[in-house]
Amino acid sequence: MIPYGRQFIDQDDIEAVLNVLKSDWLTTGPKVDEFEEKVCEFVGARYAVAVSSGTAALHCAMFAIGIKPGDEVIIPPMTFAATANCVVFQGGKPVIVDVAQDTLLIDPVCIKEIMSPKTRAIIAVDYTGHPCDYDTITDISKSNKIPLVADACHSLGAKYKGKLVGSLADLSVLSFHPVKHITTAEGGMILTDNKEYYERMRLFRNHGIKTDHRQREKQGSWIYEMTELGYNYRITDIQCALGITQLHKLPEFLSKRRAIAKKYDKAFAEIESIQPLFVQNYVQHAYHLYVVRLKKGKSEKDRSQIFREMREKGVGVNVHYIPVHLHPYYRRKFNTVEGLCPVSETAYEEIISLPMHPNLSDDETNRVIDTLIKAGSA
Ligand SMILES: *Cc1c(COP(=O)(O)O)cnc(C)c1O
**In this predicted model, what pLDDT tens digit does every residue of 39-63 receive, in sequence order?**
999 999 999 999 999 999 999 999 9
Show Cβ contacts of residue 112 under 8 Å, excluding neighbours closer than 6 positions: 140
Q: What pLDDT was estimated at residue 221?
A: 82
Q: Which atom of ligand 1 is nearest to the CA of 55?
A: 9
Provide mean pLDDT across the span 188-212: 95
Residues 154, 126: contact at Cβ < 8 Å? yes
Residues 202, 49: contact at Cβ < 8 Å? yes
2 bridge partner residues: 315
Ligand 1 is surrounded, with C-beta below 6 A, by 53-55, 79-80, 82-83, 125, 151, 153-154, 175, 177, 188
Provide mean pLDDT across the span 348-356: 97
Q: Which atom of ligand 1 is nearest to the CA of 288?
A: 15
For atom 3 of ligand 1, the residue with the nearest CA is 54
* HSE, side-chain direction, 13 A CA sphere, residue 188: 25
Ligand 1 centroid – CA 176 distance (Å): 8
Provide mean pLDDT across the span 137-151: 98
Query: 339 to each of 115, 206, 326, 354, how far by Cα in Å?
Result: 19, 41, 10, 27
pLDDT band at 288 (very low <50, low <70, confident <90, very high): very high
For atom 15 of ligand 1, the residue with the nearest CA is 153
Q: Which atom of ligand 1 is nearest to the CA of 187?
A: 7
Ligand 1 centroid – CA 274 distance (Å): 27
Ligand 1 centroid – CA 125 distance (Å): 10
Catalytic residues: 180
Q: Cα–Cα distance between 150 and 123 in angstroms, integer?
A: 6
